[in-house]
């Protein structure tokens, strides 16, 4: 029988075999043992309401019985094939029905991988090299994505600042960095560089920051004007904002988008989705060897992930699911506002009802620098108290899920009240 170990013991073991003692994703000082519904437990048995939900994919909550049943039915049939399989085709068909820009898709295993290929696809389609990225936008771990993701040294636009060692300077030379929600800057940037730009990659909701009215349409218009591929990174927003993602909610479609998290139902799965003429670059017979974009992956289109994603999406199509999700988010936002207003603590709740965060500032929040210049020390203290009060979340996002109960909401209200009181003094 396996010996039960304390969290401290697991931390010590992790430090021996993992750089910095963690997986690189989250606080290495906490080990999650299990999750059920909207709750998780750590290795010491501490219980939390989960507002991290695996960084987004567990929209239905942990261990949804229908998703589990679909997975258990698939497992005896095979776990992976490196070949076409029916669940992957069925999932692709459903994605193409749901997502406005999706005429065809290509599977990969992670959202960051999808973003890397989306950038490469834009270059293959246009024959150009430069990519426009917005400061603070997260698009995975590729060299291009690691430009001006979270810079503490603020350079003049459009200079790219690498966020990681090991990236050649030549990559920075092909990246043009712009401030999010600044239409005048984008117009001026593309007036100078537009004929050299292959793609504009953007999170329609940049981390937690919504697009200003008309901003996405401006990007659409400017991309059309200069023959640029407009890429939406919908790894987070896809099937969360609405069944058709942010592009459906905001009413502006890109040329291609990237999807992940929810489409795998908690398993590693992601996709690039877009227009047939662009996606044709994955088909050597269609475009020829010189224009072909080579892509393969051992687990791409994995059937277990596909059936989990199909069942998750089937549940999301049921009446009232998105109304319930938005209602839950609205209640949680109101709780935070009430708690902080009671102590006159300056703040903004930024984002969408399905994904948001509290930013401690007196000012509006329209781009990365607005968040960077907020009261980050107060944010850290607030999140520490929330953890102590039993809320499990990241430092920069709150993810509601459909499994939240009235009891969870009551505990959340109390946690916000106590955290607000703690940071008021």
- Please list the active-site residues: 138, 233, 261
Residue the block writes with tokens 């999301």: 316
Q: What does the alpha-carbon distance between residue 95 and residue 261 come to, in Å, rounded to a whole number? A: 13
Q: Which of 147, 187, 164, 148 is nearest to 368 (CA)?
A: 148
Task: Judge contact between 369 and 135, C-beta under 8 A.
Answer: yes
Tokens matching residue 331? 């209640």
Angle at which helices 321-341 and 406-424 cross, to 10°? 30
Q: What does the alpha-carbon distance between residue 76 and residue 84 come to, in Å, rounded to a whole number? A: 17
Tokens matching residue 97? 């029905």
Give Cα 187 distance to the centre of its chain.
Answer: 27
Structure letter (DSSP) for residue 19:
G
3-state SS string for 149-192: CCCCCCCCCCCCCECCCCCCHHHHHCEEEECCCCHHHHHHHHHH
DSSP codes of every residue in 190-256: HHHHGGGEEEEEE-SSBTTBPPPTTHHHHHHHHHHHHTPEEEEE-TTTBTTTBTTHHHHHHT---SE
DSSP codes of every residue in 387-399: HHTTEE--SS-B-
Q: What does the alpha-carbon distance between residue 28 and residue 223 come to, in Å, rounded to a whole number? A: 41
Q: Exposed, middle or buried: residue 298 (CB in 10 Å: 0-12, 13-18, 19+)?
A: exposed
Q: What does the alpha-carbon distance between residue 174 and residue 197 come to, in Å, rounded to a whole number? A: 9
Structure letter (DSSP) for residue 379:
H
Tokens matching residue 238? 């896809």
């Amino acid at each position: 029988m396996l010996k039960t170990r304390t969290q401290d013991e697991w931390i010590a073991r992790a430090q021996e075999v993992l750089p910095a003692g963690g997986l690189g994703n989250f606080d290495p000082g906490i080990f999650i043992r299990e999750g059920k519904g909207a709750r998780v437990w750590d290795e010491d048995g501490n219980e939390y309401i989960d507002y991290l939900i695996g960084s987004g994919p567990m929209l239905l909550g942990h261990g949804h019985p229908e998703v589990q049943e679909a997975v258990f039915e698939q497992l005896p049939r095979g776990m992976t094939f490196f070949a076409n399989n029916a669940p992957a085709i069925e999932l692709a068909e459903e994605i193409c029905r749901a997502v406005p820009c999706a005429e065809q898709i290509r599977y990969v295993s992670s959202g960051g991988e999808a973003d890397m290929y989306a950038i490469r696809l834009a270059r293959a389609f246009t024959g150009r090299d430069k990519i426009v990225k917005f400061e603070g936008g997260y698009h995975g771990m590729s060299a291009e994505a690691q430009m001006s993701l979270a810079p503490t040294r603020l350079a003049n636009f459009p200079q790219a600042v690498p966020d990681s060692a090991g990236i050649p300077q030549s990559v920075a030379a092909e990246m043009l960095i712009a401030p999010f929600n600044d239409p005048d800057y984008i117009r001026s940037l593309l007036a100078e560089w537009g004929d050299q730009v292959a793609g504009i990659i953007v999170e329609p909701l940049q981390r937690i920051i919504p697009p200003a009215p008309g901003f996405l349409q401006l990007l659409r218009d400017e991309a059309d004007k200069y023959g640029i591929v407009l890429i939406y990174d919908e790894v987070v927003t896809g099937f969360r904002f609405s069944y058709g993602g942010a592009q459906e909610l905001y009413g502006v479609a890109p040329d291609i988008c990237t999807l992940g998290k929810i489409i795998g139902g908690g398993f590693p799965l992601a996709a690039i989705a877009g227009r047939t003429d662009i996606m044709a670059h994955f088909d050597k017979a269609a475009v020829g060897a010189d224009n072909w974009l080579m892509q393969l992956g051992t687990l791409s289109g994995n059937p277990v992930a596909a059936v989990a994603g199909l069942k998750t999406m089937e549940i999301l199509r049921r009446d009232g699911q998105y109304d319930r999700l938005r209602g839950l988010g609205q209640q949680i936002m109101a709780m935070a506002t009430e708690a902080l207003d009671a102590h006159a603590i300056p703040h903004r709740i930024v984002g969408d009802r399905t994904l948001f965060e509290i930013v401690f500032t007196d000012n509006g929040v329209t781009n990365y620098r607005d968040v960077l210049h907020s009261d980050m020390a107060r944010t850290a203290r607030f999140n520490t108290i929330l953890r102590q009060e039993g809320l499990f979340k990241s430092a920069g996002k709150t993810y509601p899920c459909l499994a939240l109960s009235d009891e969870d909401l009551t505990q959340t209200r109390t946690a916000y009240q106590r955290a607000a009181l703690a940071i008021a003094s």
